[in-house]
Structure 1
């Protein structure tokens, strides 16, 4: 449950940073940042890797 709460907070921050992106685009893009742009990135990413990639992006250029 802790990971889900963290992911929801990160999604809130990402949606503010990228207001023109739809939800699916945000999820997929963070999966790409974590695993590289592969067709299975969103399927294969772990919560921990997704969280790390999202945090890294939010910390960048802020």
Structure 2
């Protein structure tokens, strides 16, 4: 789903004249999932998604990165 959202935003071709990354609006997404049987606190899931988001930005933005839980 995150990849589809990223592609749909790219396809809109919304200009972003002030960006150093792209002349169009892009999106970086960090994704974290876990098995519902896993006893992980919600804040850990959010933390993992946040770390994946920053990895996506470090990889050059306009990326989808999944956390390894």
TM over 0.5: no
Larger Rg: 2
User: Hey, which of these two has a bigger chunk of helix by percent?
Assistant: 1
